[in-house]
Amino acid sequence: MEAEEERSLASFLRWAGGLGISDVAITNPSQDSISCLGYSLCVSHFPHSGGRGLGAVRDLRRGELILRVPKSALMTSGNVLEDKKLSIAVNNHPYLSSAQILIVCLLYEMGKGKSSKWHPYLMHLPHTYDILATFGELEKRALQVDEAQWVTEKATLKAKSEWKEANAVMEEIKLKSQLLTLKAWLWATATISSRTLHIPWDEAGCLCPVGDLFNYDAPGRGPLTPKIRRLMFDAEELDSHSQRLTDGGFEEDVNSYCFYARENYKQGEQVLLCYGLYTNLELLEHYGFLLPENPNDKIFIPLESAVYSSSSWPKESLYICHDGKPSFALLSALRLWATPKNKRKSVRHLVYSGSQLSVDNEIVVMKWLSKTCDSALKSLPTSIDEDTILLNAMDNSRDFCSFMEITKLLSSRDEICAFLEANNLQDGHGLTDILVSRKARRSMDKWKLAVQWRLGYKKVLVNCISYCNEMLESLLT
């Protein structure tokens, strides 16, 4: 099986080379028997950081061009709509969004099979995804936090609504029955959501063969800024700045999508791409994964209406950072809220400059924040320890019996029973290995992501409580 996959991958890379995709500055599309990789990059497996990705075959210098994909190799709505039949049908339905059109284009090309220009690329797309729109009721409940459940429900309803809107055009172009289903639409939606890259002429973006093999690196973990754009330096300027403001983008002067090393890489290291600044919930929503340590993660806690009205900070700025510290805006809003109304005007300028108003004010803020985080933590149905045990069971259980043995002492039995019932594993159902069932495995993958997300949420709450206690200790001594 592995040998077959290797042959398929090699064939795909030769096909990509024939289109002019190359990891060197000068491409030679006529040599379609040569892999498009090998000078700067290679496809490798990184089990602890994203799975399949691109590795460095030599030492790479930050800012160096490492991959170029010609415009003609990109799958865009414009390219696919050169098909007259599809173009007429899409033009008959002007209410479709640019994303819906690209999804229809993707399904249309899938329906062509081997006659599609992009068939070798399409065959290497993932068969399944874990974005929030694909979560079922079990996985949605497993997130536990109202905000996350609301985002999930909104994503699933949006996907269903867009599928229904696009049904007419898909029937008009006579897509195969299996491509007309909600399941197929969700797959295509997830492909577009998780794999497209920005292009200036189409809001929906483009699918970029080979270029979409880069795994994600969060801004803040590397030396470059999170902006998804780059400064147009010439060679001398690039050397003097030794920095580029993006990992890639479409460049009109070479009519190609160009990717650059975001830092110095040693041979064998994984070469990563920054998609932008995302919280873990946003990564789950759009890409179907999360980061164990995400420097851009943040959580929101319940706030009294008086906190919102006490300042002009927007609600989305009132959060707790990944390390447990309140955001500047949240701390400012709480300091104003803890100030008597008749004195707020006189201290507002101090608050907005980040100044502590008084020891007593700061004590009130820290006590309230700690108490609120503690209440939020206790309101959730499972503890950090229980979630950790459950994740260990998911990772280490080889069969139904071992999974049940590890989780038998957990108080979250309802959640486990719901999973078993949804996958016909209740009462030991033949002691079936839960990893054998594809349905159970896919369900557990999403369930695991939900548990990982809620565990991260709870850890931020605990970190915030610790931060508040440390601040209180210093204030009271």
pTM for the whole structure: 0.86
State the helix-helix crossing angle for 400-407 and 384-396, rounded to 10 degrees. Answer: 160
- The pLDDT of residue 247 is 79
Q: Please tell me the total count of domains within the chain.
A: 4
Same domain, 229 and 323: no
Report how far residue 341's alpha carbon sits from residue 404's, in angstroms, rounded to the nearest whole number: 56
The domain spanning residue 45 has which CATH number?
2.170.270.10
Same domain, 226 and 192: no
Same domain, 260 and 371: no
pLDDT in tens, 229-252: 222 223 333 333 333 335 788 999
DSSP string of 303-338?
A: --HHHHHTS---GGG--EETTSPBPHHHHHHHHHHT
**Exposure of 348 by Cβ count < 10 A (0-12 exposed, 13-18 middle, 19+ buried)?**
middle
Report how far residue 99's alpha carbon sits from residue 231's, in angstroms, rounded to the nearest whole number: 28
Residue 223 has pLDDT above 50, yes or no: no
Among 60-64, 250-254, 348-352, 392-396, the range scoring the smallest mean pLDDT is 392-396
Q: Tokens standing for 188?
A: 């295509």
Report how far residue 257's alpha carbon sits from residue 236's, in angstroms, rounded to the nearest whole number: 22
Same domain, 144 and 260: no
Give the range with max mean pLDDT: 10-24, 163-177, 264-278, 399-413.
163-177
Same domain, 354 and 371: yes
Report how far residue 315's alpha carbon sits from residue 468's, in angstroms, rounded to the nearest whole number: 21
Is 172 inside any structural domain? yes
pLDDT in tens, 127-167: 999 999 999 999 999 999 999 999 999 999 999 999 999 99
Is 289 inside any structural domain? no
Amino acid identity for residue 174 in this structure: K
Same domain, 81 and 201: yes
Query: Which residue segment(s) compose the domain that 451 sits in?
Result: 384-460
Same domain, 88 and 69: no
Is 322 inside any structural domain? yes
Among 214-218, 271-275, 410-414, 465-469, the range scoring the smallest mean pLDDT is 410-414
Amino acid identity for residue 279 in this structure: T
- The pLDDT of residue 245 is 39
Is 392 inside any structural domain? yes
> Percentage of the chain with pLDDT > 90?
58
Q: Tokens standing for 452?
A: 């990982």
Point out the domain boundary residue: 167, 188, 206: 206
Q: Tokens standing for 10?
A: 């090699």
Is 398 inside any structural domain? yes
- The pLDDT of residue 392 is 86
Same domain, 363 and 304: yes
Point out the domain boundary residue: 177, 206, 235: 206
Average pLDDT in the 401-411 region?
Answer: 69
**Exposure of 127 by Cβ count < 10 A (0-12 exposed, 13-18 middle, 19+ buried)?**
exposed
Tell me the pairing of strands 65-70 and 256-260.
antiparallel
- The pLDDT of residue 417 is 79
Same domain, 361 and 406: no
For the chain, the average pLDDT equals 85
Is 287 inside any structural domain? no
Amino acid identity for residue 102 in this structure: L
Same domain, 265 and 302: no
In the block, residue with structure tokens 């109304």: 341
- The pLDDT of residue 232 is 27
Is 475 inside any structural domain? no
Closest CA to 120 of 18, 26, 23, 27: 18
271 forms beta bridges with: 54
Same domain, 248 and 197: no
Point out the domain boundary residue: 206, 241, 263: 206
Contact 28, 38 (CB under 8 A): no
Contact 216, 287 (CB under 8 A): yes
Same domain, 245 and 263: yes
- The pLDDT of residue 235 is 31
Residue 340 has pLDDT above 80, yes or no: yes
Is 12 inside any structural domain? yes
Among 30-34, 262-266, 387-391, the range scoring the smallest mean pLDDT is 30-34
270 forms beta bridges with: 55
Virtual CA dihedral for 209, 215, 220, 221, nearest 10 degrees?
A: -140
